Chains A and B, each alone.
Chain A
């Protein structure tokens, strides 16, 4: 196990609702990245937080937002949920934000939007 934890494990929401997913990083890691993995596809980068600041963002709309707290845990918020937001959401932590760092993933949160 990596030491990265995520909650909840599963979630069912309806279209238009809002959701908050949580992630605790591995001890000693100050960087958290979020990925969305649709069924049958590879993970897609949403954004990254380094020392409580957003440090890079993928091709996701502003209704995907996040936070990082002083203890380096993080939240992913999604507003105005759409059916296509149904996916596995993965959180990964790393020691720093440098490109060569290995990212260690949590077990994910499976979100179903009806």
Chain B
């Protein structure tokens, strides 16, 4: 069965520190898609990145970077030089290739608090 585990329930760091959010997934399929979403207090899920299972290149977008390692079924997210505006709940998610619909399976989320 498909599953996403975000073992870190809450993380609190001081502004300007680097922080890594862990994500481990389980799937039987060889073709799948991974996502990260950010959910600020307003509630709206903001799309951050999509990565397909055949592309293991790390990606960097400004202060954000993602490390995809198929061998360990992990898709970790790092924020460099964190800012207070980064405070939110972050969800890692996996597409379900066995669903007739483009169903996304979400982890339980990591609540990130950046202290000034």
Contacts and interface: CB of A to CB of B under 8 A. Distances in A.
Interface of A: 2, 31, 33, 40-45, 47-48, 50, 55-58, 88, 90, 92, 94, 96-108, 110
B12 interface: no
Contacts of B33: 99-100
A99 B7 CA distance: 25
Contacts of B104: 33, 43, 45, 103
Interface stretch (B13-21, B39-47, B63-71, B75-83): B39-47
B45 A50 contact: no
B45 A48 contact: no
Interface residues of B, number: 29
A105 B45 contact: yes
B100 interface: yes
Nearest to A107: B44
Interface of B: 4, 32-33, 35, 37, 42-47, 50, 52, 91, 93, 95-97, 99-109
Contacts, number: 82
15 contacts: A2-B44, A33-B102, A33-B103, A42-B106, A45-B99, A45-B103, A45-B104, A58-B103, A90-B43, A99-B95, A99-B99, A102-B50, A103-B104, A105-B46, A105-B47
Given A90-B45, A105-B45, A98 B102 contact: yes
Contacts of A31: 102
Contacts of B101: 33, 45, 47-48, 50, 55-57, 97
Contacts of A50: 101
Nearest to B50: A102
Contacts of A98: 102
A58 B37 CA distance: 20
Contacts of A101: 102
